[in-house]
Each structure stands twice: as structure tokens, then as C-alpha cells.
Structure 1
Amino acid sequence: MLNSWSSSQLDLHIELGATGGRRSGLESALRAAIRQGRLAAGTLLPSTRGLAQELGLSRGTVSAAYDQLVEEGYLTTRPGSGTTVVEVPPCDPVPARPAPAPTIPRHDLRPGLPDVSAFPTRAWLASTRQVLTHARPEVFGAGDPQGRIELRSALADYLGRTRGVMTTPDRIVITSGYYQGLGLLCGVLAAGGTSTAAVEDPGHNVFRDVVQRAGFTTLALPVDSHGARVEALTQEVGAVFLTPSHQYPTGVPLHPSRRQTLCAWARSTGGLIVEDDYDGEYRYDRQPVGALQSIAPDQVVYCGTASKTLGPALRLAWMVLPHHLVPPVVQAKQKADLYTETLGQLILANLITTHAYDRHTRAARLRYRRRRELLLDRIAAIPRLTPHGVPAGLHTLITLPSDGPTEQQLLTSCARHGLALRGLTELHHDPADRPQGLLIGFAASSEHAYPAALDALFTTLTSDRAGAPASEGAYVSAT
């Protein structure tokens, strides 16, 4: 006989078993629940009368089972207080091998991560209250695969105002992060017959892998002080994936003449430009370079994300698409995960429309600018170490001298000193005979932890002869 009970105090599944007496079955079921941790120490059990009624047993059977477990030390009974569970060692018949403790770096200098300790909690809570106060019941039902119209409308205004993007809400698709959006787009393009794609070299290796997994043959576009060498694009290339406003990882913007060359290539060949504007909000010396999409809206897919402004955990990103790509991308999104979580979309929309998002971004821009300047001051103190990139983004690239120490030696030494950062080599298509370097993020650490992170980094660099003569850099120097 299998049975289960629930009471006003707690719900718990109890299997009385198909063999043996009812009392022994109840004793065994309660004993197992306690040993397995399903009934925690201090849990107040139902009264004997209540449990008997719910399980269809006699009160005497339940009382006898309780008394037996009290004798065995599983339960305790106090007059007027009921019967409660006693703490006992959990049942673990197979000794578990302890899992290795995760290595948590003391100092986080990874590139591309914001300071999540500065998440605008009060603004987020205020927007959450507004959203929930005025939410219609349908908000809690199934969502729209294209994304909530509230967020798409807010983004259309915001992106036009801050990045020069030319769009309407019907051309925007909301995705669960840029990673998902890129995968959806690649699948649509591959299904449409695109077989060759161009990517930056160096470029983000994780996103390059997404492009390659879609089945594309990839053409590597070398990057120099003017950005990607787009003149290398050919008729066979069907799509090109770029970070034109702030190239990852070198930090250089795509030169205006190359922007024009790129757009002319797209118009003449029908090729598609995929613009990853991953940190376009962060330019420190001037107004940010406008989105490439603004000069070729029918040839460019514009991709943005909240992961660099608010935090990666939100999994909110967006694509502004040419009209003909909207239906297949929405269909791909629906097949992938139906839709992106709704409440987060509505809260972000409220943050944008109330300008709390702007205020948070401006404050972050000031903090990150100061941090970048501190980093450059420390780099300048080490002879012949040259940083690269314009004053923008969340990281700075430094290339390493050809006569050592090597990138791997420095990464190993940094890890030994509790520092998390990233090397340049893995971002190249072919790491052989390429410049070695370090990508130093200046945003991920909290405000109070950042100075100590810099101290640890430069103690490590100087102790490993990082000031040896530097090789010629291939990228523009930071200013």
C-alpha cells in the first residue's frame, strides 16, 4: 500500500510500503524521511489524530509508531508541544568523495565584466514595484518570442538617442543574452544558404566558436590600428561579425574609411554585417562612436546587451534586425526556449523609460574612467610596457616583450597570486608567432577592492621581469 499525507503544518510524501504491517510501515517511512533529511531536525509532526485521519490509519497505530521512534531517538515528545524531529546523522550509504573546492580569485581583473557590487538595487526594486503594481494578469502567462513590446519600444527610443540606431520596435528581438542571439542568427543564416563568414583576428574565441559550430567556413580578418582589415572581404563571404565601436580585444575603433568600405561591400554583395556593440556605453574621452547600423540599417544586425551595464546574470540582450530577418529569427527563438523571461524585460523597460538606466550608466562611466586612469598610471611606471586601445570599454590590452616573460608564465604567476585576468593568445585564430599579451579588466572588482588588485598585479608583473624591452605593437596605443 502506497500512501502520502499532507497537513496544515507541512507536506511530505510518505510511502507506507506494500508489505509488512501498517505500524511498521509508518515507522520505516518516518525513519527514512528523517535519515534522508526530508524531515529536518525541529520539524513539528502532525498530531496523532490528524495523521491518522490523513493516512486512513487508526490513532493507536500512529501513536505506537511515534512512541517507537521516540524510544529510538528519532523523535521527542513534550506535553503541550507536540512531537518533533530530533537531529540524527544523515543516511549516506555510499561515502561521497568531497568535491574539489572551487578556486575563487582574490582579485578579479577579467575583461568584459562590470562591477556587479554596484548593481542599482534601489532603482531595480523601485521599477519592480511599479511593474508589479500595474501588471495585468497576462504578464504572468506565456511570453512573446520576439520580446515584450514595452521593452522593445523603450529600446527603440534609447538606442536611437544614445547610439544613433535607426529602428522601430517591430525590428527588435529580445534574447537571453548575446550568446543566444548570436547562435539563433547563425542558425538562420546557415539555413538560408550562407556558408562563409568573416570574423576578427584576434577576436572573442567563444563567439567565434558559435559561428564555426553553425557550420560556416571562417575567414580571419586581421586587426591593426584602424580595426579589422575589411578590404579582405570577398564575394563568397555571406556575413561578417565585428565589434566596430571598440574592437575586442585590441580596443581600437573601426576607421571611418573602413566603415564606408564595409557598408559598400554589403550593399554590392548582399552580405550581412553583424555589429556587436558589447560596451558601446563606455567611452571616456568623448562621445561614443555611433553605431555602424545607422549608416546601413538594411545591411546591419545591431546587437546589444545589459550584461556590461547591469550584470550578466540578467540574461537580457537585443538584436535590431533588417525586416526580412525578423520572422525567421523570431521563429528560431520560439523553437529555442519559447521566450525570454518576462518580468526582467518589463523591469528593464521601466528603468530605461524613467531614465534610471541612464543615471546608472553615467555613474558607472565615471567610476570606470577613474579606474582606467589608475591602471594606465601604473603601466606607465614599468618601462616599455605599452597599453593599447582608445579610452573606452571595460579592459585594457598590454602586449608583452618578445624576450620574456611569456604570456603563460605571467598568467601562471598571476593565478598563483590570486589574480584572474586573460591572455591574448587564445583570441587569435592561429596563436603561432602572434603578439602575446594580457587583457586587464578594470571594472569587475568592487570599488574598495580595486586598488589592492592593482597592487597585486603590478607586484607580480615587476617580479616577473615584465619591464623587459617590448616588441613592436600592432595596435594603437592607449591615450
Structure 2
Amino acid sequence: MGQIRTNSGPAEDLLIALDRDAGVPLHRQIEASIRGSIQAGRLRAGMSLPPTRTLAAGLGVSRGVVVDAYQQLVAEGYLASRSGGYTQVAASMAPASAGPTTSRQPAARRVDFGYGRTDVSQFPRSAWLRSVRTVLTTTPNDRFAYLDGRGVPELHRALCDYLNRVRGTSSVPDNMVICNGYGQGISLLIQVLVRHGAKRIALEDPSSNDDARVLAAAAGLEVVGIPVGPDGVQVDALDRAGADAVVLTPSHQWPTGAVLSAAARAEVIRWAKRRGAIVIEDDYDAEYRYDRSPVGAMQGLAPDHVVYCGTASKTLAPGLRLGWLIVPPHLVADVAAAKLLADRGSPVIDQLTFADFLARGEFDRHLRRMRPVYRRRRDALLDALRTHLPDLEPAGIAAGQHVVAWLPPHLDEAAVVAAAAQHGLGIHGVAPYRIAGTGPGGLIFGYAILSETTITEGVTLLAAAIREVQGPPR
């Protein structure tokens, strides 16, 4: 058998093999190879192909052979010629189907009230870019080397200044640890608690089930739920739980929106001091408040017993993966060591950029710009609920980026969620986030990324779904 020539250099991504003894013209072999790659999805719509001279040199053929192959594929609609001599995979080409199918694809949701989402289209790109440029032109070289597990000192100082001023924390730079969002932060804390002998951790009930609950169970901790009332977690139940730590969202409980009262905060602090326990304060969206004065962080009341967890995910963008922990002094070294072991530290340029962004006041300006945006969306949701679903009882409306609406007793939560999906509406119920599994039915409305018109449309769809669940009026 003769030589089989494979491409090299710029042409290698096309994976073309030529067999000069096959009796098939070389341009036909090139056509077949490129056509097959497009049909299999290896070459996607819009991808550029190498220039004819480059591909010809890589394959060891004349340029005319490649030109003939490209022209044929253009004629068949697989390729498209662009001005300047560029050749690309045609936008109309899609991978061939694996075979006929009779199953129907689910229709796209018309409206999705998914929670926990920030309007990333509002990310302050220009201001962030100014900080990036400042960092790249002024940062000393040694900052780009390996650092300790706590992160860069510039961000420690900037965050302490901001949090002490705005959230009422009692923090010093030495007690700050930078992490990749709340998810990594709670993972590091759970690891350290287990090493310190913790056996049981208490969570609010209901609460998020995709971070602390999963991680604690995986680490071997017993998880107990503490009921949440109108004023936040029920402290008497916490006292009976025998927990070594508790995770709270005291400024805007997730998902009920309750605010932990001043008296309850003092009781939780007394509990922590009495048991030698740790309070993990998840301050996930406290910057967004509309109808009430700001509520200070619990960490400021007892910095030796409270770990403060903050993140840029709800204020700027979750894709930044920026989070921070204010850790009691006796745990700082262990948390920093866990962070260092996890990933050798968070990206330095991102940390320095955020530090400059904070110091310039750009973070404050961004929040001032976004509060009225989210408030208008919240107001549109409440207006629509009053108009179309007056039997639902909204709660936790004074802050944040979501609202819970409690259902009347005669409506089944699961049935309402299922009926809503049939109407093209995505919405979550409260039940999946309960630890004990009991409690009133409710719906979680995330409104941060929806326009006022879309919010009204979504509530209208929900009203139609609820009418179906209720059946015809008597």
C-alpha cells in the first residue's frame, strides 16, 4: 500500500488523511474528509478553515487540489466563502441526526422564575476594565507569584473597609480568606469543623439544598433542620439540637425572606458562646434592600464565634467566582491551609481587580444603579400577584432578588408547579428545600433577570395553571 499522508502544522485540526494509491482523486478525498467532519459536528458552523495555500502545503499537494475541494463543498452548501478570502463552515450546516426519532422535544419555557440569578447583562464592564488596566500596569511583580492561602493583602484591606462600613462587620485584614464563591467557602469551613471534632451541623428549614446540606452530609456530619418562622430561625429549637455549628441567612432568610430579629440574634450568639459553637453567616444578598433599613451583619456582634461569608455572585456576576470569609482568629490558619490545599489560591489578577474596583467606589456606584432596577422588577411582580393571584401571600419582599408566595391550603404545591410547566412557566416550590419535609406550600419567584413585561406574563401563565388545578368553579 502506498504512503498515507496526514496534514501537519496549521492544517492538522482537519484530520485529513490522503491515500495516493487509493485510486480516488486527492481533491475528492479532501472533500469527503471535510464533509464528514462537518456532518459529525467536529467542524461547527462559523469555524474558519485554513487558507488553500496553507492546507496544500500541509498536505503536500498543489494549491489547485485544495481549491477544487473547497469549491465543491461551497457548491454543496457545506462551506461559505467570506470577503478577504476566508472560508468557513456554512452557518446553515448542522451535524447529521443519529437517526429518526419520534419523541417530541420539550417546548422552551416562555418565562422562567428561576431563583439565585443575577442580571449579568448589567455587569459594569467599562469600570471593571479600568481596574484591570490599573492592575496590569501598576502591580509589583511579586504579586503574581504564589501567595499564601488567604489571598492578596490589597483585597483584604479593601473588603474590610467596605464590610465594616456597609455591613457593620468587625473585621481586620488578618482574619480574611478569599475563596472561589460561597460554594468553596462553605466547603472549606465544613472541612475545618470536622477536623476540629464537629459531629452535627444545624441548617435552617427550609434552606438551600445544593451547598451546605450536601457538603456536610458528604463530610460525615449529621444534618439537623431548625424551623424558620416569621422572625427567622427558631432559637429554642436550635438550643435543643445539640449542634456544633449552624448555617444562617439572618439578613434575608433563604427562601422565606424572614429577617432574624435582634432578640433572636442575641440568643443565637449566647447559644454559640455557651456551646463553644460556630455560627456561619451567609450574607448572600444583603446589599439589595428596598423597603427597610439595612440590617447589620451578625459577625459584628461576636467576631470570635461567627464566620461571615460574602460573595460577588449576587452583586456582580457568579462567573467571577469571588467570595470571602471573615474567620474567627483561632480558625484562620486552618481555613487558609484548607484553601491552599484545595487549589493553591484564587486568581491573583481577579482579586487585585476587585480590590481596585472597591477602592475606587465603583462597587458602591454599581449597587446604587442596580437597586432601583431590581426594585422595579419586584414591584411589577407584586402588582401582578395582587391583580391575578390575590389568594397568594407574598413574603420576604423587602430585600433580595426573589419573593416567596405562600399558597392557600386548598392548593397542592407539586400540582401547581407541574401545571405551570405545562403552560411554559418555570417555577420552584418550597417543598424540595425542606429538611423535615413538612410545612405550607409556597412558590419561589426569582425576578432579577426578567423584565417587568415578562414578569407580568409569567404571573398570568401561573394564574391559568392554578385555575386548571382548582378545576371549574362551583
For this structure pair, what is the TM-score category when the shorter chain's length is used for normalisation?
A: 0.7 to 0.9
Q: What residue identity is the alignment partner of 1:152?
A: H
Question: How far is 1:86 from its partner?
Answer: 9.7
Quick one: which amino acid aligns to residue 229 of structure 2? D
Q: Mapping of 1:272-287 within 5 angstroms? A: 272-287=278-293
- Contact 2:206–2:255 (8 Å) recurs in 1: yes
Match of 2:178 in 1: 174
Q: Is residue 2:153 matched to residue 1:153?
A: no
Residue 362 (structure 2) pairs with residue 361 (structure 1): no
**Aligned CA distance change for structure 1 residues 73 and 177 (closer, same or farther; 3 Å):** same
So what's the TM-score if we normalise by structure 1?
0.80
Which residue, out of 121, 125, 128, partners 1:124?
Answer: 128
1:5 aligns with 2:8: yes
Change (3 A) 1:86 1:345: closer
Q: What does residue range 65-144 of structure 1 map to in structure 2 within 5 Å?
A: 66=65, 104-136=108-140
Tell me which amino acid in the other structure corresponds to 2:449. A
CA contact (8 A) 1:127 1:351 kept: yes
Q: CA deviation at 1:325?
A: 1.6
Among 335, 349, 356, the residue aligned to 2:355: 349
Maintained 8 Å contact 1:35/1:91: no
Residues 301 and 321 in structure 1, CA contact (< 8 A), matched pair in contact too: yes
Deviation by residue 1:194-215 (Cα, 9 ceiling, x = unmatched): 0111111111122322222221
Matches within 5 A, 1:420-439: 420-432=426-438, 434-439=439-444
Which residue number in structure 2 is paired with residue 214 of structure 1? 219
Q: For the aligned residues, what is the CA RMSD?
A: 3.9
Q: Is the 8 A contact 1:16 1:26 kept in 2?
A: no
1:400 to partner: Cα distance: 1.2
How many angstroms apart in 1 are the aligned matches of 2:116 and 2:250?
Answer: 16
| Pick aligned residue for 1:391 from 394, 398, 409 | 398
Measured at CA, do residues 90 and 45 of structure 1 come closer, stay the same or move farther in structure 2, by a change above 3 Å?
Answer: farther
User: For residues 99 and 183 of structure 1, do their structure 2 counterparts lie closer, same or farther at Cα, with a shift above 3 Å needed?
Assistant: farther
Contact 1:24–1:65 under 8 Å retained in 2: no
**1:156 to 1:437, Cα distance in 2 relative to 1, 3 A:** same
- Contact 2:309–2:324 (CA under 8 A) maintained in structure 1: yes
SS at match of 1:396: strand
Amino acid at match of 2:150: Q
Q: 1:474 aligns to what?
A: none
Match for residue 227 of structure 1? 232
CA separation in 1, counterparts of 2:164 and 2:174?
A: 14
- What is the 5 A alignment of 1:25-40? 32=33, 35-36=36-37
What residue identity is the alignment partner of 1:111?
Y
Q: 1:187 aligns with which of 179, 186, 191?
A: 191
Encode CA deviations 1:73-109: one digit per residue, 9 max, x unaligned: 5799xxxx9998998x999897698998686432232
Quote the Cα distance in structure 2 between the aligned partners of 1:202 and 1:285: 24
Flag the 1:444–1:103 CA change in 2: closer, same or farther, 3 A.
Answer: farther
- Determine if the alignment matches structure 1 residue 289 to structure 2 residue 289: no
SS of equivalent residue, structure 1 residue 219: strand
Where 2:382 maps in the other structure, the secondary structure is helix
Q: Residues 4, 209 of structure 1: CA spacing in aligned structure 2 closer, same or farther, 3 A cutoff?
A: same
Provide the rounded CA distance (Å) in 2 between the counterparts of 1:86 and 1:235: 62
Give, in angstroms, the shift of residue 289 of structure 1: 0.7
Match of residue 476 from structure 1: none
What SS does structure 2 have at the residue aligned with 1:387? Answer: strand
Which position in structure 1 is the counterpart of 2:79?
none
Instruction: Find the residue that maps to 2:210 and give its secondary structure.
Output: helix
**Pairing partner for 2:407 from 379, 389, 400:** 400
Matched residues in 1 for 2:279 and 2:370: separation?
29
Give CA-to-partner distance per residue, 1:264-317, whole Å, 9 cap, x none: 111122100000111111222232110000010010000011111112222211
The answer to which of 140-149 and 186-195 deviates more is 140-149
- Hey, what does 1:46 align to over in structure 2? 53
> Quick check: 1:74–1:85 contact (8 Å CA) kept in 2?
no
**TM-superposition CA deviations, 1:398-442 (whole Å, max 9, x none):** 21122x32111211222222222221111111224x211111122
Q: Name the count of aligned residue pairs.
A: 450
Structure 1 match to 2:311: 305
Opposite residue 187 of structure 1, the aligned amino acid is Q
Q: Percent identity?
A: 37
Give the partner amino acid of 1:45.
Answer: T
Judge conservation of contact 1:235–1:269 (CA < 8 Å) in 2.
no
Mean Cα deviation higher: 157-166 or 279-288: 279-288
State the alpha-carbon separation in 2 of the partners of residues 395 and 388 from structure 1.
10
Q: Which one is further off, 449-458 or 63-72? A: 63-72
d(CA) in 1 for partners of 2:269 and 2:449? Answer: 35
Give the match's secondary structure for 2:444: strand
Q: Deviations over 1:447-471 (max 9, x none)?
A: 56444334444454466559x9xxx
Q: SS of the residue aligned with 2:404?
A: strand
Distance in 2 of aligned mates of 1:85 and 1:445: 36
Residue 206 of structure 1 aligns to a residue whose secondary structure is coil
The CA distance in 2 between the partners of 1:14 and 1:99, in whole Å, is 34
Q: Is residue 375 of structure 2 the alignment partner of residue 374 of structure 1?
A: no
Letter aligned with residue 36 of structure 1: S
> Would the aligned equivalents of 2:202 and 2:241 in 1 still touch at CA under 8 Å?
no
Q: Is the 8 A contact 2:380 2:455 kept in 1?
A: no
| Structure 1 residue identity aligned to 2:225 | A
Partner Cα distance (1:267, 1:325) in 2:
15
Q: Is the 8 A contact 1:177 1:315 kept in 2?
A: yes
Please give the alpha-carbon distance, in whole angstroms, between the structure 2 residues aligned to 1:121 and 1:448: 26
CA distance in 2, matches of 1:400, 1:281: 28
Q: Measure how far apart 1:71 and its partner are.
A: 11
Q: Name the SS for the 1:36 alignment partner.
A: helix
User: What is the match of residue 316 of structure 1?
Assistant: 322
Q: Distance in 1 between matches of 2:200 and 2:63?
A: 76
State the TM-score, normalized to the length of structure 2.
0.81
Within 5 Å, which residues of 2 pair with 1:434-453? 434-446=439-451, 449-453=454-458
- Letter of the structure 2 residue corresponding to residue 184 of structure 1: L
How far does the alpha carbon of each residue in 1:225-250 deviate from its partner, in whole angstroms, 9 at most, with x for none?
A: 22111223258421111111111111
- Any residues of structure 2 matched to 1:262-281 within 5 Å, and which? 262-281=268-287
Please tell me whether the aligned partners of residues 273 and 305 of structure 2 are also in contact (alpha carbons under 8 angstroms).
Answer: yes
> Structure 2 CA distance, aligned partners of 1:425 and 1:151?
39
- CA shift at 1:361, angstroms? 0.9
